[in-house]
A and B are shown apart, each in its own frame.
Chain A
Amino acid sequence: MWWTALRNESVKILAKPRSYLGFLAITLLVGVILLALALDGKSYIEFVTSSLQQSLTVEGSMLNGYLVGFIVLQMLVVHLPLLVALVTGDLVSGEAAMGTLRNLLTRPLSRKGLLLSKYGAAAVYTLVLLLWLGIMAVLVSPWIFGVGDLAVLSNEGLQILPSEEVLPRFLQAFVVAFAALYTVACLSVTLSCFADNSIGPIVGTMATIMVFTLIGTLDVALFDQVRPFLFTTHMAAWRSLFLDPVPWGDILFSMVLLGAHWVLLIGIGLWTFERKDILT
């Protein structure tokens, strides 16, 4: 029964035009980035390596599909939470606004089962959106620019990874990125349980992300204790998979923390939805 509900919720997401906004946005944004790098990518590389080239020379092309894919991921990871929240924030409050929630609850599926199917549909949507981004970043980019070693710039410096290791790292990175984005999806669905219209949960999700990100970047001792436990601190944990060696301890901590956020948010959502007076 739950699987049927999940399938139905997924179909409902597919039926909404706004669900395709995320895919369209990703396609356009990636297209723009690919065009910009195709036209002026060499200047970008020279800007990064100008200091290095005073005494050393880089043999081989740093500008390849894997680097472009990495840049695409880096640039879009900031925008993906909005694209996710745009759809998942509407899952409960949208039904409430349309007046179909009461109808839905007359079916022989518990409130818990219904809400969990919505959380499940949010996961499916997030996964598909991320898969589309992955196709654009990791398949289309190498098709246009070719493959090669990946040069990654981080706080510690420049790391050059052999090309044969890059694809597995991208796959692992998408798993970690999914964990982060699904946390955003869970937050927006949970906020959706409190509202009767979609704008509130969507704006609320983005506002939460902005506030947490600000807390994460402000250099204040008061926030030092809180920062490791904010989910926004771990939203870029996927980048750690491109370090050498990979800090598996940090990544595991990020995954556990994000998992804990899922449990907490789903728990809050279930508790609220079970007790909510459905008046619309």
Chain B
Amino acid sequence: MFGLTRLLFFGFVSFAFISIGQQALAQKSAAAASASTDAETLVNRLVQRSASLRDLAAEVQVQADVPRVKIRPLSATMHYLAPDRFHLQSPRLALLPRQNPMELFEFLKRPQGYRGMLMGEDKVGRQSAVQLSLLPTGADQDWQLIRLWVQPTSARILQAEITRRSTGTVQMQYFYRSANPPTDPAGLDLPDSLLFEMDASSLKLPKALTADLHRGSPRDAAKSASRPLQAPDGKARVAMGFRWISKNQGAAARFFKTQKAG
């Protein structure tokens, strides 16, 4: 009798544990399925927005803050024609990141070339965001890893970290004047300014060309050379502010056509 009771008790406990375990597993799968669905949904929304990007023209203010380089802010005109024609028109010399501002959107347009995974919630400044990692699926690609911080409700990109073989790792922060993106899911949601940040600790200028025979001893030259012009944290930053002149109205196409004819 007592043995039967014990058997029944242990059977009940085992059944309870198995049920709880199965439920937990089921929930995890559901969550995983839900998460991948969410990642997929988010990617689809990003693709939809990027797909509408064809032809842009903007007035740009560029300000570069690079260790051991001093350059004043400048104004320029930017033309972009999908997929890869980008030109900055300015009478001045401009220092720009090798990662052009529109390349991320072009990459997003091809969802078959990457796999998206949600990495959790995060904050960008005071804004809530989800972290989305995009892993390129093709072999031998320039693009290695893309991490996006995206507003979950509006699929607006707030921050990006792009690692490429050709350009290294570049962080980009997106700033928008309007609080809300366009209501049309396929509407262009372009930033009003971008801040690029990249590692410049390996930047070295040739010493042979900086030597000045008439400028004191090598000790003085070394002292002077150890004083960076600015940006003491070894990071190079380039800020670009946009005033969009034309969005998908053919301005860039006309510009490149004129350039080709000229």
Contacts and interface: CB of A to CB of B under 8 A. Distances in A.
Nearest to B170: A55
A155 B221 contact: yes
A51 B97 contact: no
Interface stretch (A91-99, A229-237, A267-275): A229-237
The B interface is mostly helix, strand or loop, or mixed, namely loop
Given A156-B224, A244-B70, A58 B215 contact: no
Interface stretch (B35-43, B109-117, B134-142, B198-206): B198-206
A220 B88 CA distance: 50
A153 B205 contact: yes
A47 interface: yes
Contacts of B4: none
Contact of A219 (B93, B214, B219): B219
Q: Which of B96, B209, B214, B227 has the most CB of A within 10 A?
A: B214
Nearest to A228: B216
Interface string B215-235: 111110100110111000000
A56 B228 contact: no
Contacts of A55: 97-98, 167-168, 170, 198-200, 203, 236
B229 A156 contact: yes
Nearest to A245: B70
Contact of A163 (B92, B97, B168, B215): B92
Given A213-B214, A233-B216, A59 B170 contact: no
Interface string B85-107: 00010111111111000000000
B71 interface: yes
Interface string A246-271: 00000000000000000000000000
Give the interface residue-count category, chain A. 35 or more
Nearest to B86: A59
A60 B96 CA distance: 11
A220 B220 CA distance: 11
A127 B214 CA distance: 21
A193 interface: no
A157 B212 contact: no
Given A157-B70, A158-B70, A227-B216, A56 B238 contact: yes
Interface in B187-216: 198-200, 202-206, 209-210, 212-216
A155 B98 contact: no
Contacts of B204: 51
Given A59-B88, A160-B71, A213 B95 contact: no
Interface string A76-94: 0010000000000000000
A48 B71 contact: no
A54 interface: yes
A217 B77 CA distance: 47
A221 B70 CA distance: 32
Contacts of A51: 202-205
Contacts of B225: 155-156
Nearest to B99: A55
B215 A155 contact: yes
7 contacts: A54-B203, A55-B97, A56-B236, A57-B97, A59-B90, A149-B92, A157-B228
Given A57-B96, A59-B90, 13 more contacts: A48-B209, A53-B98, A56-B238, A58-B93, A58-B94, A60-B90, A78-B213, A156-B225, A159-B70, A160-B70, A217-B217, A219-B219, A227-B216
